[in-house]
Amino acid sequence: MSLSLPLILMTMTPATLIFLLSTHLTLMWAALELNTLTVLYLIANKSHPRAIEATIKYFITQALASALMIFSGALNYEMTGSWKITEMTNPIALTTLTLALSIKLGLVPFHFWVPEVLQGMPTLPSIFLLTWQKLGPLVMFFQTAPLINHNLISSMAILSSIVAGWLGINQAQVRKLVALSSIAQMAWMVIIIKYAPSLAVLTFYIYSVAVSAALITLDKLSVTTMKSLTISFSKNPTSTLLLMASVLSLSGLPPLAGFTPKWLTISQLIAEKAIWTSFIMLTSTLLTLFFYVRLWYSSISTMSPNTANMTRLWRKTPNQGSFPASTLATAASILLLCTVFMKAISKDYFIF
């Protein structure tokens, strides 16, 4: 992995620049496929049955999305003679492209692959899947936002927020909870793209920092289930506190950074007269907030039964190595609140 990682980054970086700078649908499709192949290699790098299963599931869903994407481009070319994504005026082609991008983002009703794939993935591919791989479809949503049917996007975003919160209520696997959290966060980005694209960029940035910190800390603690989370504070209290800071930032609780994009999104939706949409999104947030608080309660507010003469693991190893990367990520997530809050007050948060 140490030798292949530079090659992977050398592949993903030019591909990312292509769909960031291009408006040609074929080029953007090719760049997304390069990123997909790279993530497939990262998932299947470990010869484990669960990793192979996750690779197959991810390949099938991404192949379906890619087929729909190139079909929408061909359909629009037949009607208009243009491959530019900003000139897609055919409603059937636009709807097909919206469905393809929704599959790649994991929006409801195409969310089923995200928890299953993430459950069988190592930590590094999980971070790439939940952050870097979401960038391409979001950029395409940015470019087609004035053209696509916003009612369709809003419906999928609302359903994504509700379904993700509902499925996470009784979920015991921590990795699947992170996946469901990602689905809910994508809903907040998609629903505001038409009105304030820069606000969606802010939401994506804070989400990427927080979810990366959470996954890195989960890997450091070797936590897989809610039951194993109850003894994490005894193993490593510092990493557990960082994990909870990241998780609560994703939940949107003040004064953490995750509260800022949700607050600004609701304010923008109300300004656009989408009162019922903002009300439903706020209500559905209570469902996701429940399993975020359950993570916090299981890890810090309760202690697993142990004998009085038990020596804690973290006391045996006072030198825990270098400052973990999750520390920097969580600190950036928390400290970013000050800058964003000042931008919100001065009404400059639409300019980045």
Are 43 and 78 spatial neighbours (Cβ–Cβ below 8 Å)? no
Looking at the structure, do residues 272 and 178 belong to the same domain, yes or no? yes
Is there a single domain that holds both residue 126 and residue 155? no
Residues 121 and 221 occupy one common structural domain: no
pLDDT single digits (tens) 172-222 = 888 888 899 899 999 999 998 888 888 888 899 889 988 988 888 888 888
- Residue that finishes a domain, picked among 110, 137, 164: 137
Amino acid at 110: F
At 171 the pLDDT is: 83
Q: Is 142 a member of any domain?
A: no
126 and 265 within one domain:
no
| Same domain? 113 vs 193 | no
Tokens for 144, please give them: 């087609």
Task: Give yes or no: residues 105 and 173 share one domain.
Answer: no
Selected residue with higher pLDDT from 313 and 114: 114
In a domain? residue 168? yes
Q: Is the pTM of this model over 0.75?
A: yes
Phi, psi of 46 (to 5 degrees): -90, 125
- pLDDT tens per residue, range 112-148: 899 988 888 887 788 888 888 888 888 888 888 888 8
Structural domain boundaries, residue 273: 149-303+324-352
Residues 330 and 189 placed together within one structural domain of the fold: yes
Residue 247 placed within a domain? yes
Decide if 315 is inside a domain.
no
Q: Does the pLDDT of residue 300 top 60, yes or no?
A: yes
Domain edge (last residue) among 137, 162, 178: 137
| Confidence band for 230, pLDDT divided at 50, 70 and 90 | confident
4 and 124 both lie in a single domain: yes
Whether 143 maps to a domain, the answer reads no
Residue 26 lies in a domain: yes
pLDDT, tens digit, 9 for 90 and up, residues 15-53: 788 878 878 888 888 888 888 888 888 787 777 788 888
List pLDDT tens digits, range 63-107: 999 999 999 988 888 888 788 888 888 888 888 999 999 999 999
3-state DSSP call for residue 84?
strand
Main-chain dihedrals φ then ψ at residue 84, nearest 5 degrees: -75, 135
Residues 299 and 348 in one domain: yes
Considering the domain architecture, whether residues 186 and 329 belong to the same structural domain is answered as yes
Q: For residues 92 and 10, state if they share a domain.
A: yes
Residue 89 lies in a domain: yes
Q: Which residues contact 49 (CB under 8 A, 6 or more apart)?
A: none
Band of residue 2 on the pLDDT scale cut at 50, 70, 90 = low
What is the count of structural domains for the chain? Answer: 2
How far apart are alpha carbons 154 and 160 in whole angstroms? Answer: 10
Average pLDDT estimate for 148-173: 87
Closest by CA to 208, choosing from 159, 250, 251, 259, is 250
Report whether the peptide linkage leading into residue 255 is cis, meaning its omega lies within 30 degrees of zero.
Answer: yes
Q: Are residues 129 and 178 in the same domain?
A: no
Q: Name the average pLDDT for the chain.
A: 79
Mark which of 84, 116, 137 sits at the end of a domain.
137
pLDDT tier, 347 (very low <50, low <70, confident <90, very high otherwise): very low
Q: Is residue 222 part of a domain?
A: yes
